[in-house]
Copies of this chain bind each other. A is one copy, B any other.
């Protein structure tokens, strides 16, 4: 577990451009304080079937109306905008779009916890950066180790094992690890209004996909339970894997080579590799999602592009242009002319998390 939120709030500004598997993300300086909410809520169940009151946690307004209008048009037979069910592909970024991403990407919290869990087998880490920094709770040293240090953390925590072993590690972590400030399970920090969008689209015969810069193998073990999105509908960054036949049977070994960075211009590539169709709706929250929205909405025919704008410092976090996580500048600038909907979390959402309701 993360030792303390103070550890993460160390005011370090690291402008490295490392994007390796998105674990190697930037440590945030002084994130706004978030008041923890009472514990006790359970993991949300994804909704299915017909939705009597769609987007119930959305306030009336242009954002909600635009989403509903789009869905009605593309699903109404005879409407010029009608799109057959097979082509109703909707793609969602994960970090900052379906679940929170502050004060650090949750997958980085996972990596730091992994360092601590593995430390007993690596006595040398006590005296070697960046591991020493992680173990001492000295994030300044970790950040000072730069891109190389973060890559060492990724290499030590994410690869060299089999896909089955890694899946098991993720499952165990996600079931118990808690967020440093809310003290909630990370899977409780999903956005209730977005769960409703997922359910609403699926009730209208959309296939919902995650297309995230995060590691695909970090997401697949839990997204079906939490979002109702099966493993085969998850696109993410990935390491190369190698088929190897061992005496106990075949395995897929996770190698230290990056196979896809599913971020920015990598998102349309990941979409093409895995889905092979151009989506008709895309939801993101940062400039890492820009190309995904652009690719989706610049095709002919009715298209929906949505940006979740983090505007709620009281209930969640407020950040955009200057943030090191989830930087959103170009998206804000170009949304109007591109016809993208910008969701104002503070104004458009009645609740943020399922446990807020």
Contacts and interface: CB of A to CB of B under 8 A. Distances in A.
A274 B274 contact: yes
Contacts of A230: 86, 277
A179 interface: no
B234 A298 contact: no
A252 interface: yes
A125 interface: no
Interface stretch (A27-35, A51-59, A243-251): A243-251
Nearest to A292: B243
Given A232-B275, A276-B220, A276-B231, A268 B294 contact: no
A232 B252 contact: no
Interface in A18-76: none
Interface string A238-278: 10011101000110100000010000011011001111110
A242 B269 contact: yes
A306 to B, nearest CB: 18
A238 B272 CA distance: 11
B295 A243 contact: yes
Interface string A79-114: 000000010010000000000000000000000000
Contact of A232 (B216, B224, B234, B274): B274
A291 interface: yes
Contact of A249 (B163, B224, B272, B298): B298
Contacts of A224: 86
Contacts of A269: 241-243, 252
Q: Which of A231, A259, A265, A276 counts the most B-chain CB atoms under 10 A from its CB? A: A276
A300 to B, nearest CB: 9
A217 to B, nearest CB: 8
* Identical copies in the complex: 2
B273 A238 contact: yes
B250 A294 contact: yes
A151 to B, nearest CB: 22
Interface in A195-238: 207, 216-217, 220, 224, 230-232, 234, 238
Given A224-B86, A269-B243, A234 B276 contact: yes
Q: Which of A238, A252, A275 counts the most B-chain CB atoms under 10 A from its CB? A: A252
A61 to B, nearest CB: 30
A148 to B, nearest CB: 26
A163 B216 CA distance: 24
Nearest to A291: B243
Contacts of A86: 224, 230
Closest 5 CB pairs between A and B?
A: A231-B276, A243-B265, A243-B268, A232-B275, A249-B298
Given A242-B269, A245-B294, A273-B274, 15 more contacts: A86-B224, A207-B232, A216-B276, A220-B276, A230-B277, A231-B275, A231-B276, A232-B274, A232-B277, A234-B276, A243-B269, A243-B295, A249-B299, A250-B291, A259-B273
19 contacts: A89-B232, A207-B232, A217-B276, A231-B275, A231-B276, A232-B275, A232-B277, A234-B276, A241-B269, A243-B265, A243-B266, A243-B295, A245-B294, A249-B298, A249-B299, A250-B268, A252-B268, A259-B273, A274-B274
